[in-house]
Structure formats: structure tokens, C-alpha cells
Amino acid sequence: MNVDEVLAELATLGHEDTRRIWLKHGAPAPFFGVKIEDLKKLVRRIKVDQALALALWESGNSDARYLAALISDPAAFIRDQLRHWADTAGWHMLSEYSVAWCAAESPHGRALAREWIQSPRAATACSGWATWSSLLAITPDERLDLAELRGLLGQVRDTLPGSPGRLPHVMNGFLIAAGGCVPALTEEALAVARALGRIRVDMGGTDCRTPDAVAYIEKLRLRGVIGKKRKSVRC
């Protein structure tokens, strides 16, 4: 399939209810409002197509961009392509999920995560923290730098309060990832989460809420899945 064929099919799959939900969550036009389950049916047909993924991203259509992340080949990205995706994502479904997933599964994940969390642009910083969370979910513990991650926990503790936009929400997600994916960091992540207290973020009048990190990590512990890794973060 080419870009025009994909966009034409996406147009037929749009739902007004989904479109209203995306609008409420801040999605910028253009987009059709395609359900994720319908995008995944397209993924099964297209499989992996990096050239098509890059072209779909350039269409500017949010549905096409989400699909682009799902059909991309993370190993094929060059660093500047991922930087471009982070710069142009437009809203959190792309910056905190699509971009972060592809970055984490690429050879450039850690370098970009380190770079992005220092950005003065909140959306880019969100991509960085979300990339770190994704990295913790898929990287074997023996390949992680625990000293660096402890430094990041301290950075969350010191800078989360007062951080702009959705940054507190995504930093809270990093606490959950550290505590839930890396057993050596579970108690430290819990200590930071308890010190910060329950994080509340303005979600623009939607029903979304920032999870209670302490309760979330403790549930993972009760289920016996602390430290369980995933093969892929893209979904």
C-alpha cells in the first residue's frame, strides 16, 4: 500500500465518537478518528514497512501517524528522524506513546531519552521520560545503569512538583516503570512516590487520571510480576 491508499482506507474507518474523544484529548486536525483495533487490522496486512511509516508521518494525519509507529522498523531509524517525530508529534498520544515506543526500540533510545528530558519544551521532555519508561519495560536489568536510573529517580523527586503540562503525569509513569520493571529500584521508587504524594494533573476535562504510583507498584508486587519484561512496548 502507498500513502494515498492508506489515507483513503483510514477515511472509511473513521468514527465520529472516536473523533470526539480525540478532540477532547487535544488531538490536532487532521484526523479521522480511527479506533486502535481497526488500525491494528491494517498493521496485520501491511506488517513492517519503514518507508511507508516515514511517509505516513509526513502526511500530518494523527491516525496515520499512530499507524506509522506500529508498522515502523525501529532498528532502521536514524536519530534525526526520531527527533523530527518528537518535534512534530502535536499531541500526547503521539509524543508520549508512538514516539517513545519507536525511540525505545531503536538503537538510539537511551541517548534520545537523556537528551529529551532536558528539553525546555514540555512535550519533548514528556517524550524523553516516556522513552525511559519504555526502555525499562523491555531492557534486561543487567544492561541497565542503576546509578543513572537512581539519579533519574532523584530528578523526578526534585523537579516533578511545579513541572508544566503533562510532565508530572509522565514522570509519575517513570516512577511506576522503575518500581515495576526493575526489582532493584522498587523500594526506591516507592520512597520517591510516597514523598511526592498523589500526583494530580489537569487532563483537560477528560475522565483520565494520573495513577497512584504507590498503589500501582504494590498491585504489581501482589501479582508477582515485579521485574517482568516485555518483548515490545508498541501496542
Domain extent for 234 = 92-235
The answer to whether residue 195 sits within a structural domain is: yes
- Mean residue pLDDT across the chain: 96
Give SS3 for 14.
Answer: strand
* Neighbour tally for 106: CB within 10 Å: 21
> Could you tell me the pTM of the whole model?
0.96
Q: pLDDT tens-digit profile of 179-225?
A: 999 999 999 999 999 999 999 998 877 788 999 999 999 999 999 99
227 and 115 assigned to the same domain? yes
Residues 118 and 223 in one domain: yes
**Residue 79 within a domain:** no
User: Concatenated DSSP letters for 168-215?
Assistant: HHHHHHHHHHHHHH-GGGHHHHHHHHHHH-------TTSS-----HHH
Residues 120 and 225 in one domain: yes
- The number of domains in the chain is 2
**Residue 82 counted as domain residue:** no
Q: Is residue 81 part of a domain?
A: no
Say what the pLDDT of residue 204 is: 75
Instruction: Give the pLDDT mean for 114-140.
Output: 98
The verdict on 210 and 110 lying in the same domain is yes
